Amino acid sequence: MEFLGVIATKIVESLVAPVGQWLSECTIAPVGECLGYSFHHSSNIENLKKQKNELKDNRERVQHLVDGAIRNAEEIEADVNSWLEKVDLIMENAEQVLEDEEKANTRCSNGTCLNLKQRHQQKVANQVKGNKLFDDVAIAEVTQSLDLRRIQEELAGMLDLKFDIVEPVTVRARRLCQRLTTMHNKILVILDRNSCYGLQSSDNMGENRNKDLLSCEMGTQKNFGLGVLTEEEAWNLFEKMAGDSVKDPNLRSTATEVAKECAGLPIALVTVSKALKDKSLYEWKDALKQLRRPGHLSQMQSTIYSSIELSCSHLESEEAKTFFLLCSESGYIIGYLDMLKYCYGWGLFPNINTLEEARNRLHREVRNLRDSSLLLDCPNTHEHFHMHDVVRDAAILIASKDEHNIFLVSDDRELKQLMDMDALKRCMALSISGIDIHELPNEMECPELRFLCVNGGDKSLQIIPETFFDGMRKLKVLDFTQMKLSSLPSSLHLLSNLTTLCLDFCAFEDMAVIGELKNLEILSLVGSNVSQLPREIGLLTHLRLLDLRKCSKLEVIPRNVLSSLVELEELYMGNSFDHWETEGLDNGRNNATLAELMHLSHLVTLEIHIRDASVLPKDLLLFKKLERYRICVGDVWDWAEKHETSRRLKLKLNTRFQLECRIKMLLNGVEDLWLDELKGVKSILYELDTEGFQQLKHLHVQNNAEIKYIISSVWLIVFPALETFSLKNMINLEEICHGQLHSKSFGNLRVVKFKNCNKLKFVFSLSIAKELSQLRELEIRECSIMGAIVIKAEPEIEVKEIDMTLFPQLRVLTVQHLPKLVSFFSTQNSFITNVGEITPEGEHDFSMPILHEQVVFPSLERLELSSISEEIQHNQHQTRSSCKLTNMQASMRFQNLLTLEMNDFGSLKYLLPFSTARLIVQLKHLHISECKVMEEILLTEDLGG
């Protein structure tokens, strides 16, 4: 019967383990994962059925063998009987799961989608109780009608709380509150808004509308928002709803495209897939066309759009609704600054007196819409936000209804149709996309029009009829984008109410008529071909915002034009005009001077590039009032378009006098600081900011021959908000910190990059390194005498007490061209002498820096080592260390490493000992180059031969 035991063992490994694992793991996921979407449920059930049947067949085969052995009077081994009993138990559990699933499908009254919701809720309840994360779970359905008595009864019933039938709602509420808060039990309360369609963003919008209620009134500390689905999650949900029809190979590619058009929005995925279930390929293709170019609404689209319209109708005010609909006119990717120009010009926000107040209101409205899932964040930028494709299509249709009168047209036919219906007479806002529009009408009768946006697109409209503006005297916001105009029409001066004028990316020869728009408060010429700003701009004495970004051809701003704009609050000149003249000097161009800015007493936002520091005026007290600024001084800087912070300063100053007298006042609140050359400064901290740069997030210092220390004589917390720290070509830098550093300094540091710091012997002392719990990326290059990355100073703690997990969040580690590097972490200062030479003291602690050391990098994903340590060959087999790791620490050293790159190790004979290699279980990419004497990847001695 030995062969039977072998067969049984193999079957256990291949079948019992997966089924048992499924049955156990489905109840032990963390609660955060429980609250995600259960869109893999269907495939899991099918997989369970398949594995159960396979297990059943194999059990029968084993049983036949057992029966035959008994007939032959053979003894049955105990492990075989144990296996059969274990299989019977697993089969019983699997059968119970499938039976419960069948009951749930039969019992559900709202069909498949609601069944998914109910099953998901029960799964959450069972998991959190089974994991002892919560003692009790209470679930209640919150419908549109908001039946408070029913909600109270549902919650009370699950908490074993009895209500008298005649008790008032207020008394019940008080008793329910006491039950939830006075006992020591931890209770999870699920208030379900999904009354019709299961997991849908429209209903999640209802939940999110009450985010302020949760945070402010109920005191919740963490709210989890459910956004759009990933591509995999979206397809799993779509496939489940559509059924077997999407498995047809002739239809599947079209179904995939249809699912992509839903762009991860659950309500769209559910509605579309259910509508197309069991339909023909022709119907699928027609649906794809409808989704890509909505025309007359089908029932499928109506369901989606009505849900979004419901969410829109629940917004807190009419201004919020109008703002949302105006966002839809602006595209899928929407700029905060563009919306500020529009909303302020229209007067959309009441009781607003300054642009700063309007900006605050704008951010509040975006946040509210984001909480309602009507808007989304844009990844990797804080200057834009995003509207989902499906939401935008619905919003455009909602906007065109009589109560809103906001229209978007994209071709000549749509524009003519709009004019024929007399819709323009009641139109409040109109956006014209010029991709398929070849000309504008001579006149448009729009007596109520407040907002007009015309985008010339790639074909670029070139003519605006002279009488075009005659019928829109109430216009307040005018945006012409990407148009080639010889001149602006003379009827422009009729727009006496015009507050915002945007001529972004336009080409024109004459724009003097702008000077007649006396009430203009916002003028935007972003990316235009203007080479000389008209003097008439100086007549716009009410102007609050002037945007000249990306005007790369702008070379002349007549003197005293800027100083005439006495109400100006925001001036944007990034990647634009930089021909500032020195005050009192006339070179014939009579160009603007920086001293003119001193007349702008309301200025709070400034973006400007000053290539020559000598033109800086002595008096820059105006800079003290700036709330936001991006200022470049010097000829070494490129104007970066990506802005992560609101206060950026890039300085190349030739003398200390320029720093002391002209620009230093900006350093106190700076968030992003770039320093080049900076003559006369030997220490960054205290010489530049005595407060310790409390708000600084990014610090880049380069090309300096005088700075010896970044920090000296520490007595307070420094750089507490710093995220990025970069040093380059600091040829005399000896230490980052000269003196003992406060333990809370550098606490938020995430990225460190040092290059060509030839007197730097180490990067961090151990006391600093231990505090860098947030460090994600560490890159050290071309530091010729560096002997260690982290070093233990003599007064610090004993090495035997050190936890060798120095950077628990480190993801990327790059070490290149460090010829004297002995180790990542060194406990012996004597390795590094005053002249930077490595002097052996018997045997060094480590043979190969980083890889062979007793240092733990539990989160490291990418390790790149190149041209380091000339001493490797002497220590190749010396792997001992005074710092011994526990078994658990050792197993975590490189547990998440995915990529390992090794380059230019002329004396390296092997890459890894087997004891280390066996722990690198996630490695996917190994690249080795220029290691000419390497004999083997793994040290075979480690394997016993």
Is-contact 858 894, C-beta < 8 A? no
> Distance between CA 409 and CA 400 in Å, rounded?
11
If you ran DSSP here, which 8-state letter would residue 740 be given? Answer: P
> Distance between CA 736 and CA 753 in Å, rounded?
13
Beta carbons within 10 angstroms of residue 862's beta carbon: 17
In the three-class reduction of DSSP (H, G, I as helix; E, B as strand; rest coil), residue 49 is classed as helix
- Greatest alpha-carbon pair distance for the chain in Å reads 117
- The pLDDT tens digits of the residues spanning 553-598 come to 999 999 999 999 999 999 999 999 999 988 766 666 689 999 999 8
pLDDT of residue 288: 84
> Distance between CA 585 and CA 870 in Å, rounded?
59
Q: What average pLDDT does the segment 760-783 reach? A: 91
pTM: 0.73
If you ran DSSP here, which 8-state letter would residue 596 be given? Answer: G
Residues belonging to the chain: 945
45: closest CA among 11, 19, 17? 19
> Distance between CA 546 and CA 574 in Å, rounded?
12
Is-contact 544 523, C-beta < 8 A? no
In this structure, of 196-205, 446-455, 521-530, 550-559, the range with the lowest mean pLDDT score is 196-205
The segment with the largest mean pLDDT, out of 439-443, 782-786, 834-838, is 782-786
339: closest CA among 353, 325, 350, 351? 325
268: closest CA among 298, 303, 236? 303
Q: What average pLDDT does the segment 446-451 reach? A: 94
β-sheet bridge partners, residue 376: 386
In the three-class reduction of DSSP (H, G, I as helix; E, B as strand; rest coil), residue 764 is classed as strand
Q: Regarding predicted confidence, which is higher, 532 or 200?
A: 532
As to burial, measured by CB atoms within 10 angstroms (0-12 exposed, 13-18 middle, 19+ buried), residue 257 is middle
What are the two backbone dihedrals, phi and then psi, of residue 202, each rounded to the nearest 5 degrees?
-60, -35
> Distance between CA 253 and CA 855 in Å, rounded?
50
Q: Regarding predicted confidence, which is higher, 323 or 507?
A: 323
Is-contact 606 626, C-beta < 8 A? yes
In the three-class reduction of DSSP (H, G, I as helix; E, B as strand; rest coil), residue 629 is classed as strand
Mean pLDDT, rounded, of the chain: 78
DSSP E strand stretches across 336-470: 376-377, 384-386, 406-411, 429-436, 451-455
In this structure, of 46-60, 82-96, 124-138, 703-717, the range with the lowest mean pLDDT score is 124-138
Beta carbons within 10 angstroms of residue 309's beta carbon: 17
In this structure, of 34-43, 185-194, 396-405, the range with the lowest mean pLDDT score is 34-43
- 842 has a pLDDT exceeding 60: no
β-sheet bridge partners, residue 814: 779, 864
Report the Cα 284 to chain-centroid distance in Å: 34
> Distance between CA 754 and CA 776 in Å, rounded?
15
- The pLDDT tens digits of the residues spanning 275-296 come to 788 888 888 888 888 777 655 6
In the three-class reduction of DSSP (H, G, I as helix; E, B as strand; rest coil), residue 231 is classed as helix
Q: Regarding predicted confidence, which is higher, 896 or 547?
A: 547
What are the two backbone dihedrals, phi and then psi, of residue 502, each rounded to the nearest 5 degrees?
-115, 125
> Distance between CA 80 and CA 506 in Å, rounded?
83
Q: What average pLDDT does the segment 782-786 reach? A: 92
In the three-class reduction of DSSP (H, G, I as helix; E, B as strand; rest coil), residue 515 is classed as helix
Is-contact 652 637, C-beta < 8 A? yes
In the three-class reduction of DSSP (H, G, I as helix; E, B as strand; rest coil), residue 607 is classed as strand
> Distance between CA 366 and CA 437 in Å, rounded?
31
At 516, the amino acid letter reads E
> Distance between CA 328 and CA 319 in Å, rounded?
14
> Distance between CA 455 and CA 410 in Å, rounded?
10
Q: What residues have CB less than 8 Å from 700, skipping those under 6 apart?
A: 673, 674, 675, 724, 726, 727, 728
Beta carbons within 10 angstroms of residue 640's beta carbon: 15
Q: Which two tokens stand for residue 945?
A: 């031969």
Is-contact 360 549, C-beta < 8 A? no
- 886 has a pLDDT exceeding 70: no
> Distance between CA 782 and CA 756 in Å, rounded?
5
Q: What residues have CB less than 8 Å from 792, skipping those under 6 apart?
A: 765, 766, 799, 802, 825, 826, 827, 829
Beta carbons within 10 angstroms of residue 118's beta carbon: 19
> Distance between CA 546 and CA 911 in Å, rounded?
60
pLDDT of residue 276: 84
pLDDT of residue 778: 96
